[in-house]
Chain A
Amino acid sequence: MMNEMTMTFKTMPLKKLPRLSPLRRSPLLFAAMLLILAAGSLAGCDPFEPEPYREYVVVEAWLKAGQPLPPVRLSTTMPVDQKYSFEEAAVAGAEVRVHLLDPSGESEAAYAYEMERPGIYRPAPGALHEVIPGRTYHLEVELSDGRQVRARTTVPQPFAVSANRESIIYQENLLGGDEDVDDENKQLILTIHPLSESTQQRIFIFNAIADSPTYENLTPFYKDVIDSDDEIDINEFANNSSGLTPDDMLTPEPDGTLDLRYPWIGVAFYGGQTIVANSIDSNTNDFVRSQSVQLGGSTLSPGEIPNAIYHVEGGIGVFGSMVSDSVYVRIERPDFSGF
């Protein structure tokens, strides 16, 4: 049989420890040596030698469906610590050609470009072509020193856009507005009408181009932004764009259209404006989303700067394409006197 006993004891203070031996000084010496050792290793080699600057060829061209072939910008990168000027970075004397590819990826037609001025290349007079939605284009560049740059883009599928109002009071849904207008229509709604079947996700960027981008016409938030920062140019808001907007963010309607409640933050000026819906290709999407995190945001630590995503062989930049359609809307100045 096992006995169970329960006892509780309190400790009794014991006699004091004997004084420490002369070794007591040694620990301090030991600690000092340790720190000296650590400091010595700190002063050792630094494996982090930043890589030197290298120059890359930069291309930029934006194909817009239904429009003539666009100009191609050709330049080089410049060291980050030097003054940048496109004219100085411009590449002259290159051979530029854009191919329309057939479904197998072979060239169906080639369009030659001519240099308008260093860095700017335009289609040659005979290269008349309107960009076709859904087709793939190939850019071919050969520099005078033999370097070659290649890129291709597939133009998104076409669509049309319409709006629920031709004229609307700024923040009408928040301020009350016209009693004859139902609540649903007190905000601008853009309706996207796909004109062809597409299984791929569409990525949109919306922009509002103001007729009269003056200081007096600024909406309150943007006026305050301009007032609080001298370095911001009002012209930056004259063509005011949204972020990347996947079609899954739009509201699907039973008739297959997609609705977007146009956010008031997209309206920088009162007055007439052209609101453009742009459906962009994957090159553009990749560049915009990656470039936007270079200066912060995202989940990256401050100071961690990745390269943007390019789809350019032998160089960097964007060979992008888009399909666009627009509506014209007047944004009326509200009566704030009641607030």
Chain B
Amino acid sequence: MHGYIVDSRNGETLIAANIAILETGRGTTSNSSGYYSLTNLQPGTYTLIASYIGYHRFERVVELEAGQALRLDIELVSESFELEEIVVTSEKEEEARRNIGMASMPVQQIREVPAVMEPDVFRSVQLLPGVKAASDFSSGLYIRGGSPDQTLILLDETTVYNPSHFFGFYSTFNPDAVKDIQLYKGGYPARYGGRLGSVLSVYNKDGNRNELQGRVSVGMLASRAMLEGPHKWGSWMFAVRRSTLEPLLAAMRQEIDNVPDLFYFVDLNGKVNFDVSEKDRFSVAFYSGGDRVVFPFEEDAEISLGYGNRTLSTNWRHIFSERLFGTVTLTASRYFNTPEFEIAGTPFDRNNNVYDYSAKADLEYLPGANHTLSTGFWTGYRKLTFRDRFDNEVTFNERIENTYASFYLQDRWQPSDRWVLEAGVRGNWFSSGDYVRIEPRASMEFRPSNRVRLQAAYGRYYQFLTLVTNEAFSGFDLWLTTDDGVPPSWGDQYVLGVKSVPFDSWGFDVELYYRTMRDLFELNPFVVNASGMDYPELFRFGEGHAYGVEVFLERRIGRLTGFAGYTFGVTRRKFPGFNAPVLDDPARARFYSPKYDRTHDVNLVLNYELSRRWKFTAIFNYATGQAYTEPTGRMQIIDMPWSNLVRETFIVEKLNDARLPDYHRLDIAFTRKGTFFKIADAEWQFQLINVYSRRNIWFYQYDFDKNPVEREEVALLPIIPSFSYTVHF
């Protein structure tokens, strides 16, 4: 038996849905194309069950004859559509989403949880255990001790290089356009590669295959519109999101100097699907988004900044037979930033571009009842250009071109109902430096009962890219690659997990992880001007490790839903010449905690249906204060010949050896369902961010104009109310 599993309302394929034969207990899950296949079934009568969280369970008696291949496309009916009180499904049926290292965040939940001004995919993902935020102002994903560049971010299989708006405050993914999000926090399978830590794969909607449908939201920061519908051969979806700060800026200009002349972001998403035949589906998807800021300040000075991403992908899915399924994807991705400053008649501008064109293919083959073989390749050409001009003179001009190729092979073997073993290998070639690297991956699962899964995974990972960024500002992000003298980073990951269903509709998961990070290469923070430097001189090379425990308790079904997540995590890094004892060998390195290292992190997300119209949502987050450097001493350099300024200098005994006060915040939201003049469904949402206005601290700033030095607190978000109004039609 094989086929697609789709939502009955709109024909959207459902990723990671559960399919099982009741009589034999054999089951599988739909892949990222929503396709499933069950092979080598003996002739007979079977009860086929399909389930997916939030949908009614599908159950059908099917008779199979000898030699028969049954194409069975399944339409699941969603809970909201039928308005049934209880939907027959449980945590157990989230099986694929609870594979080792995996986590998921339903798109509906992203829209419902309180978010600063605008629902955001990354900020919602940050609520999951093991995923941390650098600050209230950063949507960057710090997963299991990895920096944001250690997470591969894919939009419809296309790499997105800087998925941020407002300098990191928001991510670029419009929740109205998104269908599904799959996060591999660690120990990810051989199908993916290129990053040391994790993979976040975002899938845009295919579009409604049945009827024209739309959604319009008006919010305080941004407004969104999404339209989807069928066409003769398939479906389409277009979505737009744009910030709407202009009225606020205009009001501010009446009272305050130095208000930006221009400040907006915009996102456009689109996808067109062609169901060419029973066996072939073809899609074209694009994304275009960017930020633009023009900010005059003082007399005779102005900053102008534009940055953004463009992606284009085409995907062809083909059912060769009930045993063989394949996809071919062509992708193109561009990231750019073009900051321009002009101060006192002196211009400075930068033109930074990343172009990535790739082709990938994946095949899934089921040779027998117990094996699923997967193989594929991903190859591409990447060009990074970077040019600085100061006072109209080119001061730095770098062009890095490389080709890359990777190939993987993995087998998922289910020798019995209790055991699942998966082994794979991925080979990589990277042209800059001519590096060839092999990555073994393996995982196993033992099911002592139908409510408990014991899991273990190991994997080796290589990374050929590094991101030059600043936590406080992502508008100037720059990617650099390995080359001669700059070897790729690599690391091993070990993960142990227990996934259980202690009670119906509850899930309780624990994962332990340990990972190493070797040959980390990062831009040396002391490089203030790269002109004339050899490429390897730009970097510092170091190592790190991270370990931790994640505990996740979840309830997705019922009037009260939500989850509690707890993470104990430790992350350490070291780089020679950085954090060495003051009078010691400056090349000596000591481990230190990066700022985003948080020993304890607790997240509580609750949704409660107050009535058929009203819903209450709350998020509470508690985390150990972030690491920071507490300077111990100071000195002055007084006689610098080229300046009248005294050069005040801190003395630091150990980097980041102090902790900011603990972080905690409570956000709440009330959602009211109604109608829009009785012609469409509508939804009001009222939110209160940081309910008790806790002034969490971002960092301390030191003022040398005061003697003794004064330390000022730079606070994170205060209490913020917001509302939005959404119409579905």
Q: Which residues of A contact B (CB under 8 A)?
A: 1-17, 20, 23-24, 26-27, 30-31, 34-35, 38-39, 41-42, 46, 48-56, 58, 60, 62, 64, 70-71, 73, 75, 77-84, 86, 89, 170-171, 174, 201, 205-207, 219-225, 228, 231, 235-236, 238-239, 241, 243-249, 251, 261, 263-267, 276, 278, 286-287, 289-295, 298-310, 314-318, 322, 324
- Listed A/B pairs (29) with beta-carbon separation below 8 Å: A2-B67, A5-B71, A7-B70, A7-B72, A8-B74, A11-B74, A35-B566, A35-B602, A46-B659, A53-B653, A56-B583, A62-B639, A78-B633, A80-B631, A80-B651, A207-B642, A220-B300, A224-B300, A235-B644, A239-B642, A244-B528, A249-B532, A265-B343, A295-B701, A298-B525, A300-B470, A306-B525, A307-B650, A309-B526
With A38-B602, A73-B639, A241-B643 as known contacts, state yes or no: A5 contacts B586, CB within 8 Å: no
Does A51 lie within 8 Å of B345, measured CB to CB?
no
Does A289 lie within 8 Å of B71, measured CB to CB?
no
B624: interface (CB < 8 Å): yes
A305's partner among B59, B472, B600, B652 (CB-CB below 8 A) is: B652
Does A8 lie within 8 Å of B346, measured CB to CB?
no
B391's partner among A83, A263, A287, A293 (CB-CB below 8 A) is: A263
B612: interface (CB < 8 Å): no
Residues of B within 8 A of A174 (CB): 345
Closest to A248 in B: B532
B301: interface (CB < 8 Å): yes
Residues of A within 8 A of B522 (CB): 299
Does B300 lie within 8 Å of A221, measured CB to CB?
yes
B627: interface (CB < 8 Å): yes
Residues of A within 8 A of B662 (CB): 42
With A42-B600, A83-B708, A299-B523 as known contacts, state yes or no: A64 contacts B393, CB within 8 Å: no
The docked-state distance in angstroms from the alpha carbon of A55 to that of B635 is 10
Cβ of B90 to closest chain A Cβ, rounded Å: 9
Closest to A311 in B: B586
Cβ of A91 to closest chain B Cβ, rounded Å: 12
With A7-B71, A251-B393, A318-B637 as known contacts, state yes or no: A307 contacts B582, CB within 8 Å: yes
Does A303 lie within 8 Å of B699, measured CB to CB?
yes
A239's partner among B85, B644, B647, B652 (CB-CB below 8 A) is: B644
The docked-state distance in angstroms from the alpha carbon of A290 to that of B650 is 11
Cβ of B234 to closest chain A Cβ, rounded Å: 16
A220's partner among B69, B299, B523, B643 (CB-CB below 8 A) is: B299
The docked-state distance in angstroms from the alpha carbon of A1 to that of B50 is 28
Residues of A within 8 A of B702 (CB): 295
With A83-B707, A236-B645 as known contacts, state yes or no: A249 contacts B390, CB within 8 Å: yes
Interface residues on chain B, number (Cβ under 8 Å): 128
**Segment of B19-27, B329-337, B498-506, B673-681 engaged in the interface with chain A:** B498-506
Closest to A231 in B: B705
Cβ of B16 to closest chain A Cβ, rounded Å: 17
Closest to A313 in B: B583
The 4 closest A-B pairs by CB, nearest first: A248-B532, A303-B699, A51-B653, A303-B628
B727: interface (CB < 8 Å): no
The docked-state distance in angstroms from the alpha carbon of A49 to that of B659 is 9
Residues of A within 8 A of B655 (CB): 304-306
The docked-state distance in angstroms from the alpha carbon of A183 to that of B529 is 28
Residues of A within 8 A of B651 (CB): 56, 77, 80, 307, 316
B578: interface (CB < 8 Å): yes
Does A82 lie within 8 Å of B708, measured CB to CB?
yes
Residues of A within 8 A of B566 (CB): 34-35, 38
Residues of B within 8 A of A73 (CB): 638-639
Residues of A within 8 A of B429 (CB): none
Does A80 lie within 8 Å of B632, measured CB to CB?
yes
Cβ of B644 to closest chain A Cβ, rounded Å: 4
Does B70 lie within 8 Å of A5, measured CB to CB?
yes
B546: interface (CB < 8 Å): no
With A7-B70, A77-B633 as known contacts, state yes or no: A56 contacts B390, CB within 8 Å: no
**Segment of B76-84, B184-192, B281-289, B416-424 engaged in the interface with chain A:** B76-84
The secondary structure that dominates the A interface is mixed
B720: interface (CB < 8 Å): no
Cβ of B592 to closest chain A Cβ, rounded Å: 9
Does A248 lie within 8 Å of B531, measured CB to CB?
yes
With A84-B636, A306-B652 as known contacts, state yes or no: A13 contacts B77, CB within 8 Å: yes
Cβ of A13 to closest chain B Cβ, rounded Å: 5
Residues of B within 8 A of A299 (CB): 468-470, 522-523, 525
- Give residues 542-578 of B contacting A (CB, 8 Å): 551, 553, 555, 564, 566, 568, 577-578
- Give residues 49-73 of B contacting A (CB, 8 Å): 50, 55-60, 65, 67-73
With A20-B504, A27-B502, A48-B658 as known contacts, state yes or no: A243 contacts B529, CB within 8 Å: yes
B33: interface (CB < 8 Å): no
Cβ of B648 to closest chain A Cβ, rounded Å: 8
B131: interface (CB < 8 Å): no
B378: interface (CB < 8 Å): no
B400: interface (CB < 8 Å): no
Residues of B within 8 A of A11 (CB): 8, 50, 55-59, 74-77
B634: interface (CB < 8 Å): yes
B579: interface (CB < 8 Å): yes
B471: interface (CB < 8 Å): yes
The docked-state distance in angstroms from the alpha carbon of A50 to that of B592 is 12
Residues of A within 8 A of B583 (CB): 56, 314-316
The docked-state distance in angstroms from the alpha carbon of A83 to that of B660 is 24
B700: interface (CB < 8 Å): yes
Residues of B within 8 A of A249 (CB): 390, 393, 395, 529, 531-532
The docked-state distance in angstroms from the alpha carbon of A289 to that of B644 is 18
Residues of B within 8 A of A221 (CB): 298-301, 343-344
Not counting A11-B50, A51-B657, a sample of 12 additional A-B residue pairs whose C-beta atoms are within 8 angstroms of each other reads: A31-B564, A34-B553, A48-B657, A78-B635, A221-B300, A292-B528, A293-B526, A301-B134, A301-B595, A306-B652, A307-B582, A307-B652
The docked-state distance in angstroms from the alpha carbon of A245 to that of B529 is 7
B255: interface (CB < 8 Å): no
Closest to A301 in B: B595
The docked-state distance in angstroms from the alpha carbon of A43 to that of B280 is 58
Cβ of A315 to closest chain B Cβ, rounded Å: 8
Residues of A within 8 A of B526 (CB): 286, 289-290, 293, 298, 306, 309
With A56-B633, A82-B708, A298-B528 as known contacts, state yes or no: A304 contacts B555, CB within 8 Å: no
B88: interface (CB < 8 Å): yes
The docked-state distance in angstroms from the alpha carbon of A64 to that of B639 is 12
Residues of B within 8 A of A1 (CB): 67
With A73-B638, A302-B471 as known contacts, state yes or no: A81 contacts B659, CB within 8 Å: no
Does A27 lie within 8 Å of B649, measured CB to CB?
no
A2's partner among B69, B345, B602 (CB-CB below 8 A) is: B69
B656: interface (CB < 8 Å): yes
A238's partner among B59, B551, B644 (CB-CB below 8 A) is: B644
The docked-state distance in angstroms from the alpha carbon of A30 to that of B662 is 25
A54's partner among B3, B82, B633, B698 (CB-CB below 8 A) is: B633
B640: interface (CB < 8 Å): yes
Cβ of A28 to closest chain B Cβ, rounded Å: 9
Does B582 lie within 8 Å of A56, measured CB to CB?
yes
With A38-B566, A299-B523 as known contacts, state yes or no: A77 contacts B634, CB within 8 Å: yes
Cβ of A175 to closest chain B Cβ, rounded Å: 9
